[in-house]
Amino acid sequence: MTSHFEIEVSVLQALSYCLYEMMDNVHIHSGKPLGTAITYYDKSDKILRILIADDGIGIKASLAENEKYSDVTEAEALILCLQDTITDGKGMGFGLYTTAKLIEKIGKVFILHSGGHKLIIKDGETSCLENGYWQGTLIYMVIGTANEIDPNQVVDHRVDAAEEYNETFVETEELESLW
């Protein structure tokens, strides 16, 4: 994604944090060692499509590992996991929460599908409905890439997402040329 210079840097800064967290969720919560991540950048529409999928235990089963959420329904689990500090106990419950905040800022479509339900956020509206079965978790999102955002607002200023991105992906000479 860093090779697409049309993508606003602040979007990349926030997105890199969220992508890391979502892919880390596959490793930590799915019960599987690997998942799949696919991105597609549409230069003319200035949107980025992202798909992250695994064939693990799914969100409901993962949340149920925390006694506090052992009785939630599958639909409730999909809604809950986008809230802050909702976790199965193996993580902080911050990854999908920050992703939901990113979607609020620049998202066009967000779909979270696990088991027999999918949660859809589109045009500011959220719905959760029964759908065909997906073994594991599938996340699909379409985000706008042209508008500047505050990446640290996406992460509730708990980390410096901009600095983390810059240290990891931007050469020092490139940073200096931006000023």
Report the pLDDT value the prediction gives residue 2, as an integer from 0 to 100.
62
* Tokens, residue 120: 């859809």
Mean pLDDT of 125-152: 96
Find tokens 């950048």 and name the residue.
41
For residue 114, count CB atoms less than 10 angstroms from its CB and return exposed for 0-12, middle for 13-18, buried for 19 or more.
buried
* pLDDT over 70 at 1, yes or no: no
What is the SS3 assignment for 45?
coil
Distances (CA, A) of 21 to 17, 90, 100, 105: 6, 13, 12, 18
Q: What is the pLDDT of residues 3-61, one digit of tens each?
A: 666 899 999 999 999 999 999 989 899 989 899 999 999 999 999 999 999 999 999 99
Q: What is the pLDDT of residues 62-118, one digit of tens each?
A: 999 999 999 999 999 999 999 999 999 998 899 999 999 999 999 999 999 999 999
The structural domains of the chain, ordered by start, are 9-174 (3.30.565)
Average pLDDT, the chain: 91
